Structure 1
Amino acid sequence: MSPTTVLPIQRVMASAAPGAWRDGIVLETGVTDTVVAFLDGDVQRLRVAGADGVLSVGDPVAHHPVAEILSAGGRQTTARSA
């Protein structure tokens, strides 16, 4: 995942609403889409920019749906509901 896909405004939005982060586990991953099972029981397909096989099934992730950021392994990229 490339950190360059996250815009400065997205970082500001994530900082302004830190309670919006949702933790989850990757269930499926592909070139552009990833399916995440969130700890609240929700399962969502996310369109992830620059994933390129970096995410693996079982990886822990955090998603900020307002800022559209996915964080995994210390890296961040854009991710929106598919």
Structure 2
Amino acid sequence: MLRHPFDSAAIAPSVKTPMLALIAAEDTTISPLHSELMIGKWGGKVIRKVFDGADHNTIQLAPGYWQNIQMFLDSFSSEKGSSDQ
């Protein structure tokens, strides 16, 4: 497993970018508790989805997984901004 020296928990409060947190309830690689702790520190809006019965290697097969990603991405395309004008 890749390990890195970054202190994500220390940086998270300053990140204002929205986050989609997709959590596999049975994940033993990145525990749901670790995910919840990061969500609690995040400085931006968080959309949190937990997939019961899924683990680190099967979450992408869970019903609603891809739909949640699509809805999250679509939420940015419908935002009104001055960059397109």
The structure with the larger Rg is 2
Normalising by structure 1, what TM-score?
A: 0.27
Greater share of strand residues, 1 or 2? Answer: 1
Normalising by structure 2, what TM-score?
A: 0.26
Greater share of helix residues, 1 or 2? Answer: 2
